[in-house]
C-alpha cells in the first residue's frame, strides 16, 4: 500500500468540567465528548524521500514541525527507524482553533495512516499511548465515538452515543487560545460545576431532554465574559428552536441540539441572515 485516505472527525463537548490540577500544571478534567459528522480529509502517501511534507488548503497553517500532523508522522517514523518519508495532504473543513479538536483529529488520522502504510502493527491502545505525547485530545480522536474523558483527557470510558438529533454549529470569527483560557480559569473561585453524572445518565437512558438539561461547560465562565458574542450566539440558537446550546471546548464555536433536521435547517437559514460574521455547519 502506497497511500491511504482517512476522515478526521471533529468533536463537541457535551459536558466539560475541571476537577483539579496536577503538580505539573496539567488540568484534571471530567468531560463527555461526542464525534460529529464534520471532518477533514487526510491523505498520507509514502515517499521515497526521507522527509515529511505537509500540504493544506489553508495557506496560513504551518506545514513544518509546528504542525501536529507533521509531529505525529515524525513520532512513528523515528521510533521505527523508517528511512522513507511521507507526504501528508490536509483538506481542512473543521474550523481552526475553534474548540472542535481539528488539529488533534488530524494527528490521530496520521498516526493511523502511518501505522497502516508501514505495517507497524500497533494496536489502537498502543496508538493511544503515542497520541498522548502529542496532545491530551489525541487519544480520544483515535478512538472516537462518545466517551467520558478523565485524567488530563486520556482516560476514556465509552458511553452510549447522543440520542438521535441534529446538531448546528456556529463558529464566530475569532480564535481563542485554549492555554490562556485554562490559565485564566485558575484565577476563578467557587465556579459551579456542570452535572456531568446527570449528563451520563441521560445518555444511558437515551433521553435527549435529560442530555440537553444536563449539558454544561465550566470554561464558559472564562470565555463568555471575554467574548460576549458567544452568549449572544447561544441565545440566538435557542431563540430559533434549539433545545440546548453550549460552547464547545474553550470556544469560540457554539453548538445546538435540535430534535430534527428540518428545525435545524430552518434555524440555520434564519441565523445566516443576521448581520454578524459566522460560519455555520449542520451535521
Query: Domains of the chain, with CATH numbers?
Result: 3-158 (3.30.230.10), 166-282 (3.30.70.890)
- State the Cα torsion 170-259-104-226 to the nearest 10°: 40
Burial of 83 (0-12, 13-18, 19+ CB in 10 A): exposed
Query: Which of 125, 124, 51, 38 lies closest to 82, judged by CA?
Result: 51
Specify the 3-state DSSP secondary structure of 174.
coil
**Distance (Å) of CA 195 to CA 50, 179, 185, 214:** 50, 24, 18, 6
Outline where DSSP puts E strands in 202-253: 216-217, 244-247
Instruction: Record the pTM.
Output: 0.94
What is the pLDDT at residue 80?
Answer: 98
Classify strands 146-150 and 155-158 as parallel, antiparallel or unpaired: antiparallel
Catalytic residue numbers?
A: 11, 137
Q: Which residues of the chain have pLDDT under 70?
A: 1
Could you count the other beta carbons within 10 Å of the beta carbon of residue 187?
Answer: 7
What is the pLDDT at residue 175?
Answer: 87
What is the pLDDT at residue 97?
Answer: 86
What is the pLDDT at residue 166?
Answer: 97
Specify the 3-state DSSP secondary structure of 15.
strand
40-61 pLDDT, tens digit per residue, is 999 999 998 999 999 999 999 9
Q: Do the beta carbons of residue 169 and residue 255 sit within 8 Å?
A: yes
229-261 pLDDT, tens digit per residue, is 999 999 999 999 999 999 999 999 999 999 999
Amino acid at each position: 500500500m502506497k497511500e491511504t485516505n482517512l476522515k478526521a472527525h471533529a468533536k463537541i463537548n457535551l459536558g466539560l468540567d475541571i476537577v483539579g490540577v496536577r503538580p505539573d500544571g496539567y488540568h484534571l478534567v471530567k468531560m463527555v465528548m461526542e464525534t460529529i459528522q464534520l471532518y477533514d480529509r487526510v491523505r498520507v502517501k509514502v515517499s521515497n524521500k526521507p522527509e515529511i511534507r505537509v500540504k493544506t488548503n489553508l495557506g496560513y497553517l504551518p506545514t513544518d514541525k509546528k504542525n501536529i500532523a507533521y509531529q505525529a508522522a515524525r513520532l512513528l517514523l523515528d521510533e521505527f527507524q523508517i528511512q522513507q518519508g511521507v507526504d501528508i495532504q490536509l483538506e481542512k473543513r473543521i474550523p481552526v482553533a475553534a474548540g472542535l479538536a481539528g488539529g488533534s483529529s488530524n494527528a490521530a488520522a496520521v498516526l493511523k495512516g502511518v501505522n497502516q502504510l508501514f505495517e507497524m502493527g500497533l494496536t489502537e491502545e498502543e496508538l493511544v499511548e503515542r497520541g498522548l505525547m502529542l496532545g491530551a485530545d489525541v487519544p480520544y480522536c483515535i478512538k472516537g465515538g462518545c466517551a467520558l474523558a478523565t485524567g488530563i483527557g486520556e482516560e476514556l470510558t465509552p458511553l452510549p452515543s447522543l440520542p438521535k438529533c441534529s446538531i448546528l454549529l456556529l463558529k464566530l470569527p475569532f480564535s481563542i487560545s485554549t492555554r490562556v483560557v485554562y490559565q485564566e480559569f485558575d484565577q476563578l473561585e467557587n465556579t459551579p460545576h456542570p452535572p456531568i453524572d446527570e449528563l451520563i445518565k441521560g445518555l444511558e437512558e437515551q433521553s435527549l431532554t435529560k442530555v440537553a438539561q444536563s449539558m454544561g461547560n465550566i470554561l464558559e465562565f472564562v470565555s463568555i465574559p471575554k467574548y460576549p458574542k458567544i452568549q449572544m450566539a447561544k441565545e440566538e440558537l435557542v431563540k430559533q428552536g434549539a433545545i440546548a446550546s453550549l460552547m464547545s471546548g474553550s470556544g469560540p464555536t457554539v453548538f445546538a441540539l435540535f430534535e430534527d433536521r428540518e428545525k435545524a435547517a430552518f434555524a440555520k437559514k434564519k441565523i445566516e441572515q443576521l448581520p454578524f460574521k459566522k460560519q455555520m455547519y449542520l451535521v
